[in-house]
Structure 1
Amino acid sequence: MSTEETEKKGFFLKFLDNVERLGNKLPHPFMLFIYLAAGVILLSWVLSALNLSVVHPQDGETVAIENMVTLEGLEFILSSMLDNFTGFAPLGLVLVMMFGIGLAQKVGLIETFMKRTILNAPAKLVTYVIIGTGVIGNLASDAAFVIIPPLAAMVFYSLGRHPLAGMAAGFAGVGAGFTANVLITGTDALLSGISTEVAQTVNEDLVVTVVDNYFFMAFSVLMLMIVGTWITERVVEPRLGKFNDKYADPDTVSQTAEQPTAQELKGLRNAGITAAVYIAIVAAGIVPPNGILRGEDGTVVPSIFLDNIIPIILFFFIVVAIAYGTTVKVLQSTADVPELMGKAMKDMSGFIVLIFAASQFIAYFEWTNLGTFIAVTSANGLEAINFTGMGLIVGFILLGAVLNLFIFSGSAQWALMAPIFIPMFYFLNYDPAFVQLAYRIADSSTNIITPMNPYVPMVLAFMKKYDNRAGFGTLFSIMLPYAMTFLFIWIAIFVVWNLIGLPIGPGITPGL
């Protein structure tokens, strides 16, 4: 990059440097929750000494701050520790989902699907397909970050287009579209579990299910494909200009993307047939008015299907993974299935450790009544200044997008924000699922421009293979149009969606 270009981007680069420096000073998410739990204990001691309390808007009862620096508080810390962890809603939901999704990933089904989809896309539609596959590929979590961007770069180069534009499109789909999908994923289970855990601190009957954001998130896939393609072809590619392989690694530009083998394609076909049969069986139980998976009165919302969506999805991924794995001979005996599931669970070890600390923090927040105190006080203050409408929700989205620059883990950030904002918005008559949806927009959009994203250095390394002059400034200047455009268009759709009154999921509207 020339000195002139660096000077033009001086302010932006300095901003990114500050984000990186501040983010690096934050402790590991596990320790962050430990420190926050300790902070809750100390804050409860101070505020209880001041005899602070609020009147609960629902039942009119006075809620006082409970002091944890007491014998009763110490007993709660010790006696509840295991229950806080094992009873934490997201733990079981996510681990069960990963049995199926992890198996599909370990047998190679998801990677083959992504390769097949991208490499066989028509030239005119290749950008749409790359972004769409990247968004849906978040089903494989980290694997999509590793597979999609370099594969997209090779496809663009083979078509005579700039490979960095292809890499940017792939990274935008996987990163900025991380929370959207047409399928129910581990992200849905994780976030809805945290939301339910927090929502039940103010109303034990509140439940946020994995499908409560489905309608909006499924539509978002189409939006991301259209907007992402426009940015790639109208903004990023023209700015990059014609690709010059003078600065590229010769070995990289001589590489070609490998098509799936005949055996892998056969496995993909068998997995598709199995998926179709499974979906037909489930549909037979939910589509007819008297279907066995409907509710007691023949309803779809609620129904046995929605109440048990997690095991239904689990079995779906298991059967299609087995169909693929046996065809490609990755699964040669029944013992291979639990073995690969076990390997998938090893990848979840960091999540399990994080959940232990997060569950203690949320439990302390609930026991001390700090969450209720902050929520009611904040809600009353916002009502007093008449700031309770859609502008407040948009402000919440923008706050989440900024915080995401410093805390990359979506689950960690939501575990921090949910105990404050779900009760606050609840007292303003907003459904917890609606608040969760607003957070998901914020969390996804800025994933691709935060230096805290552990895959940013990896994508930069891929970029340097095509242009050895590339640096962090190059990467972020390319990705910034995606992040900002996705964020503001997503907010606009979010506002219009709710003004029209469309449900964001089965039976879910903004208000309670």
Structure 2
Amino acid sequence: MALENNSVKRSKLTGFLNGIERVGNKLPDPFMLFMYLAIIVIIFSWLVSLFNVSFIQPGEEEKIFVKSLMSTEGLEFILTSMLDNFVSFKPLGLVLAMMLGIGLADKVGLLETAIKSTIVKAPKSLVTYAVVFTGIIGNIASDAAFVIIPPLAAMVFYNIGRHPLAGLAAGFAGVGSGFTANFMITGTDGLLSGITTEVMQSLGSDIVVTPADNWYFMVTSVVILSVVGALVTEKIVEPRLGKYEGSVGKQFEKATALEMKGLKNAAIAGGAYIAFIIIVLLIPHSPLTNERGGIVPSLFLDGIIPLIIVFFIILGVTYGLTLKTITSTQDIGKYMGDAMKDMSGFIVLIFAASQFIAYFDWSNVGLWIAVSGANFLQSIGLTGILVIIGFVLLTAILNLFVFSGSAQWALEAPIFVKMFYFLDYHPAFVQAAYRIADSSTNVITPMNPYMMIVLSFMRDYDKKAGIGTLISLMLPYSLFFLGTWILLLLLFAYLGIPFGPGITVHL
């Protein structure tokens, strides 16, 4: 009977996700979808502005009005900002620059050999856990992890006879929904704690929230979410996908002796580069560290993307020279150019997406939605731990409109850190509650520009894949990650486990 009930539950869940996929795939092509959304924002901003809607942003005194994109000012913005919206769109430069290094390593065959000789040989029972775990800790590379891990995870799954989209989903879930967790203190910790501290100082408080104040909680989260992500993949996502019948992905054969030599040389060169960076970090008054000799914040974290690009270029060039796939400097540029050709579809999508997001920001429509939602929760007047859960759920919803974690925290912190402070909640605890909500829905928010990149990776294995396919794949991860994180938050709170050094729920 229990087996039958489980089968019925799986059947209902599969039907629900299939329904989401069908509805989502009826949406227009992503390029046209963003164009339509841009038009909707233009019309909506005009309609709202007719009612002279205004609001006050937390921490500010002046009223902010929803501005019409159909006004003279709005038309001027549309016409004069189009190129800036495109070329200044942060993910565009990040992705293209990363692909110079990663694309070179891929085109010379390094990534293929690395997968053949390492992950593919790992016990199959551990592959899923390794993929999710790698995705979670990959946020040390910031947004670059969105570009690196999902496609590699898909290749790994394909080459061990599993569905590549399941691997891609597991990698994307680790990177996106687990974005804020890590074993190390990262730039995200420094950025968010700085905002929280500023809010406390505005109250005249001497409380300082440090980058380490959520560390214990985030270290625990890495382990638990790795398990949860793997179970969601193997129990929900992969069974629903079924057996992969395509042949688009790469099929790897056993690495040759020369390929292994190239991999070894690349590893030595990469290790030497990492050792050099570590030495530079450790020398007194290093230019890569801050004035106190730390790395949060520091030039090292600010420049992590260029450092990663150089790392992949060193690996690719070393491997190519060993296998003689690179015989001159012209070959390096050729391989990089080939990698850029593969990104043409992404560039087209980003042009449309950048316009939509710019219109959303300029008109203040997104800010208005976020502030209104925050004020609503504040007006409810919940007490006890329920208000924290309500805050988490609201943040998860608002993340669908404001993708930037730092921007959203800058918006929410002046309201909720102050409100919870007067209820005797520690600001670092409130920050931890914010982080779990902000991360969980990263993989289903349409405001996440990296969704388009992941969708392009999906189409390497399924030409018919659409936004609905992606959302239906990722929704279980968002729900289970959020639910698990809420339970973990409550567990820490009720057992009195510190969230970081000396940090508990209450002051």
TM-score of the alignment, normalized to the shorter chain, above 0.5: yes
The answer to whether the 8 A contact 2:101-2:312 is kept is yes
Cα distance in 2 between the residues matched to 1:104 and 1:13: 38
Question: What does residue 324 of structure 2 align with?
Answer: 329
Question: What does residue 358 of structure 1 align with?
Answer: 353
Residues 482 and 299 of structure 1, relative CA distance in 2, 3 Å threshold? closer
Cα distance in 1 between the residues matched to 2:244 and 2:356: 49
Return the letter of the residue paired with 2:39: A
Question: What does residue 174 of structure 2 align with?
Answer: 177
Question: What does residue 78 of structure 1 align with?
Answer: 79
Q: Deviations over 1:333-364 (max 9, x none)?
A: 21111111112122222222222222222222
SS of 2:55 mapped into structure 1: strand
Please tell me whether residue 147 in structure 1 is matched to residue 155 in structure 2: yes
SS of 2:45 mapped into structure 1: helix
Return the letter of the residue paired with 2:305: I
Among 333, 339, 347, the residue aligned to 1:344 = 339
SS of 1:95 mapped into structure 2: helix
The answer to whether the 8 A contact 1:136-1:181 is kept is no
Return the letter of the residue paired with 1:149: F
Residues 149 and 427 of structure 1, relative CA distance in 2, 3 Å threshold? same
Question: What does residue 17 of structure 2 align with?
Answer: 16
SS of 2:64 mapped into structure 1: strand
Q: How far 1:81 moved relative to its partner?
A: 0.9
Cα distance in 1 between the residues matched to 2:307 and 2:327: 25
The answer to whether the 8 A contact 2:43-2:70 is kept is yes
Q: How far 1:459 moved relative to its partner?
A: 7.8
Cα distance in 1 between the residues matched to 2:257 and 2:180: 27
Return the letter of the residue paired with 1:383: Q
Q: How far 1:371 moved relative to its partner?
A: 2.6
Please tell me whether residue 288 in structure 1 is matched to residue 286 in structure 2: no
SS of 1:258 mapped into structure 2: coil
The answer to whether the 8 A contact 2:181-2:222 is kept is no
Q: How far 1:51 moved relative to its partner?
A: 1.4
Cα distance in 2 between the residues matched to 1:445 and 1:378: 19
Q: How far 1:444 moved relative to its partner?
A: 5.1
Q: Which sits farther off after the overlay, 264-273 or 48-57?
A: 48-57
TM-score w.r.t. the length of structure 2 is 0.67
Question: What does residue 499 of structure 2 align with?
Answer: 501
The answer to whether the 8 A contact 1:374-1:420 is kept is no
Cα distance in 1 between the residues matched to 2:220 and 2:269: 26
Pairwise mapping of residues 113-132 of structure 1 onto structure 2 (< 5 A)? 113-121=114-122, 126-129=124-127, 131-132=129-130
Return the letter of the residue paired with 2:91: P
Question: What does residue 109 of structure 1 align with?
Answer: 110
SS of 2:329 mapped into structure 1: coil
The answer to whether the 8 A contact 1:118-1:130 is kept is no
Q: Deviations over 1:74-120 (max 9, x none)?
A: 11110111111112222212221221112112222222212211354
Q: Deviations over 1:365-392 (max 9, x none)?
A: 2222223322222221111114695424
Residues 7 and 373 of structure 1, relative CA distance in 2, 3 Å threshold? closer
Residues 374 and 94 of structure 1, relative CA distance in 2, 3 Å threshold? same
Pairwise mapping of residues 306-455 of structure 1 onto structure 2 (< 5 A)? 306-386=301-381, 390-392=388-390, 394-395=392-393, 424-428=411-415, 438-443=437-442
Among 274, 282, 297, the residue aligned to 1:279 = 274
Return the letter of the residue paired with 2:372: T
Cα distance in 2 between the residues matched to 1:218 and 1:136: 14
Residues 103 and 72 of structure 1, relative CA distance in 2, 3 Å threshold? same
The answer to whether the 8 A contact 2:66-2:368 is kept is yes
Cα distance in 1 between the residues matched to 2:134 and 2:181: 8
The answer to whether the 8 A contact 2:38-2:359 is kept is yes
Cα distance in 2 between the residues matched to 1:296 and 1:111: 41
SS of 2:441 mapped into structure 1: helix
Residues 303 and 417 of structure 1, relative CA distance in 2, 3 Å threshold? closer
Pairwise mapping of residues 224-235 of structure 1 onto structure 2 (< 5 A)? 226=227
Question: What does residue 507 of structure 1 align with?
Answer: none
Q: Deviations over 1:258-281 (max 9, x none)?
A: 321111111111111111110111
Q: Which sits farther off after the overlay, 222-231 or 39-48?
A: 222-231
Structure 2: state its 5+ residue gaps: 136-144, 200-213, 418-429, 446-450, 464-471
Residues 216 and 101 of structure 1, relative CA distance in 2, 3 Å threshold? farther
Residues 8 and 396 of structure 1, relative CA distance in 2, 3 Å threshold? closer
Q: How far 1:298 moved relative to its partner?
A: 3.0
The answer to whether the 8 A contact 2:181-2:221 is kept is no
The answer to whether the 8 A contact 1:119-1:259 is kept is no
Cα distance in 2 between the residues matched to 1:83 and 1:306: 26
SS of 1:267 mapped into structure 2: helix
Residues 397 and 79 of structure 1, relative CA distance in 2, 3 Å threshold? closer
Cα distance in 1 between the residues matched to 2:476 and 2:373: 34
Return the letter of the residue paired with 2:349: L
Cα distance in 1 between the residues matched to 2:296 and 2:159: 41
Cα distance in 1 between the residues matched to 2:218 and 2:334: 33
Q: Figure out how many residues of one structure are paired with residues of the other and give that number.
A: 426
Among 298, 302, 312, the residue aligned to 2:297 = 302
SS of 2:100 mapped into structure 1: helix
Q: How far 1:231 moved relative to its partner?
A: 7.9
Cα distance in 1 between the residues matched to 2:486 and 2:181: 22
Cα distance in 1 between the residues matched to 2:316 and 2:215: 23
Cα distance in 2 between the residues matched to 1:337 and 1:218: 40
Question: What does residue 68 of structure 1 align with?
Answer: 69
Q: Deviations over 1:27-60 (max 9, x none)?
A: 2222222222212221222222211111233221
Residues 374 and 178 of structure 1, relative CA distance in 2, 3 Å threshold? closer
How many percent of aligned residue pairs carry the same amino acid? 39
TM-score w.r.t. the length of structure 1 is 0.66
Cα distance in 1 between the residues matched to 2:46 and 2:435: 31
Pairwise mapping of residues 199-210 of structure 1 onto structure 2 (< 5 A)? none
Q: Which sits farther off after the overlay, 343-352 or 486-495?
A: 486-495
Cα distance in 2 between the residues matched to 1:96 and 1:418: 22
Return the letter of the residue paired with 2:42: I
Question: What does residue 260 of structure 1 align with?
Answer: 255
Q: How far 1:301 moved relative to its partner?
A: 2.1
Question: What does residue 94 of structure 1 align with?
Answer: 95
Q: How far 1:500 moved relative to its partner?
A: 3.6
Cα distance in 2 between the residues matched to 1:419 and 1:35: 28
Cα distance in 1 between the residues matched to 2:215 and 2:304: 12
